Amino acid sequence: MSETLRLDATNSEQVEQAAQLLLQGKLVAVPTETVYGLAADASQPAAVQQIFVAKGRPADHPLIVHLADAKAMQDWAKNIPAVAWQLAEAFWPGPLTLLVAKADHVSPVVTGGLDSIGLRVPAHPVLLKLLQQHQLAVAAPSANRYKKLSPTSAEQVLHGLAGRIEAVLDGGDCQFGLESTIVSVLGDTVEILRAGPISQADLEEVLGCEVRHPQQHQVKVAGNVKAHYQPNTPLQCLPYAELVQYLQADTTAKIAVLHRQALPPALQHFSHHQLPADAHAFGQQLYRSLFAADQTGAELILLEMPPHSAEWAAVQERLARAVHQ
Ligand code: TXA
Ligand code: MG
């Protein structure tokens, strides 16, 4: 494949072009409210297969299928429990992926050979309308090379995948900037498998029962690897005081600093960027800031460790994997 087309999500003809490419079995990166997804028509296994090639992702890693509406769950899943409908009703369109039993006809290419399937209705208005108008379901992992940072803009998609995919539909910066919350409703209890924008408290409020969030969950999924979401530059997270000490110890080091509290003036010659204090805004900017820090030519990215309270769960989960060497 040669050049990747850049299509504009504010131009209806170009959105239609993206839809036609998907229907032809081509790969198109699409905006969602979480991160950009690398989409293929989920009903064409040969097209879905290409996703793994473009990303360099092992074939046994399951994909999320993005639906036009909750009703379409029936086309892709079977034995759907009442809690799944309840959560879909409360949070779709939105950043929640439900793991349910896959329908018999669904190709193992989509589910990485598993009997379960991840489903969600995305909230990006342009993508949602495209899916609805064409009664389309698209399989889409995050639109990054395997183990790298998830893209939150069309530029970042192109940085990793230019020349490897047919097109990117540029829908601007993503609203949440972190991947969806993944919830399994396969067993007797409801379990969070990946923290995300929808919190444990949000889920419990809707269901009126306990939702589990096991640290080391039992579901052995190939995609659940330790090293993930990594910038190319090594990343270290330190509490503010230690971070300052580290920088003071070697003021000539090539370090890119991502901090929440202001840096002392004597340290402001380091390439640095201040992230928001608020968890939601921080999450929205995290990948973008790591991506930018990666471009500075620094030998190390130092990030001020954010709090460990519940509202930071999604961020902390990403950071734990991003620093893993
Ligand atoms: O926000 C998101 O979820 C984004 C946007 C594009 O929708 N997608 C995304 O996909 O993050 P991906 O493939 O990068 O991450 C999906 C995760 C993987 O770790 C995969 O292993 C897990 O979901 N997953 C998907 N289907 C599964 C299944 N049937 N059982 C267990 N885990 C599953
Ligand atoms: Mg991913």
Express each pLDDT in 90-111 by its tens digit. Answer: 999 999 999 999 999 999 999 9
Q: What is the CATH number of the domain that holds 280?
A: 3.40.50.11030
From the CB of residue 127, how many other CB atoms can be counted at a distance below 10 Å? 29
Total domain count for the chain? Answer: 2
In a domain, 227, yes or no: no
pLDDT at residue number 215: 78
Please state the rounded mean pLDDT for residues 222-235. Answer: 78
Q: What percent of the chain has pLDDT over 90?
A: 92
Q: What is the CATH number of the domain that holds 120?
A: 3.90.870.10
Contact status, residue 9 vs residue 122, Cβ threshold 8 Å:
no
Q: What percent of the chain has pLDDT over 70?
A: 96
Of 142, 165, 183, the one to substitute when testing ligand 1's pocket (max ligand atoms within 8 A of C-beta) is 142
Residue 223 has pLDDT above 60, yes or no: no
The pairing of strands 190-194 and 211-212 is parallel
Please state the rounded mean pLDDT for residues 58-76. Answer: 97
Place of tokens 């609805």: 132
Clarify whether residues 89 and 185 are in a common domain: yes
- Ligand 2 centre to CA of 318 (Å) is 11
- Ligand 1 centre to CA of 229 (Å) is 13
Residues with CB under 6 A from ligand 1: 32, 34-35, 37, 61-64, 95, 97, 99, 111, 114, 116-118, 140-142, 179-180, 182, 219, 221, 223-224
Distance CA 291, CA 149 (A): 7
In a domain, 216, yes or no: no
Clarify whether residues 182 and 303 are in a common domain: no
From the CB of residue 199, how many other CB atoms can be counted at a distance below 10 Å? 19
Of 51, 182, 219, the one to substitute when testing ligand 1's pocket (max ligand atoms within 8 A of C-beta) is 182
Structure tokens at 201: 């408290």
pLDDT at residue number 114: 97
Question: Taking ligand 2, which is a single-atom ion, which protein residues have CB atoms under 5 Å away?
Answer: 142
- Confidence grade of residue 224 (pLDDT, cut at 50, 70, 90): low
In a domain, 166, yes or no: yes
Please state the rounded mean pLDDT for residues 311-315. Answer: 96
Clarify whether residues 122 and 179 are in a common domain: yes
Clarify whether residues 181 and 315 are in a common domain: no
- Confidence grade of residue 258 (pLDDT, cut at 50, 70, 90): very high
Atom number in ligand 1 closest to CA 140: 6
Write the residue with the smallest CA distance to atom 6 of ligand 1. Answer: 37
Clarify whether residues 118 and 201 are in a common domain: yes
Clarify whether residues 83 and 26 are in a common domain: yes
Q: Which ligand is nearest to the CA of 118?
A: 1
The pairing of strands 271-274 and 235-238 is unpaired
pLDDT at residue number 2: 75
pLDDT digits over 106-138, tens only? Answer: 999 999 999 999 999 999 999 999 999 999 999
Residue 252 has pLDDT above 80, yes or no: yes
Name the residue range of residue 37's domain: 5-207
Write the residue with the smallest CA distance to atom 20 of ligand 1. Answer: 223
Write the residue with the smallest CA distance to atom 17 of ligand 1. Answer: 223
pLDDT digits over 13-66, tens only? Answer: 999 999 999 999 999 999 999 999 999 999 999 999 999 999 999 999 999 999
**Orientation angle between helical segments 125-133 and 12-23, nearest 10 degrees:** 50
The pairing of strands 28-30 and 167-170 is parallel
Sheet of 235-238: strand order equals 235-238, 300-304, 255-259, 271-274
Candidates 120, 173, 138; CA nearest to 19 is 138
Distance CA 322, CA 237 (A): 10
Contact status, residue 45 vs residue 51, Cβ threshold 8 Å:
no
In a domain, 221, yes or no: no
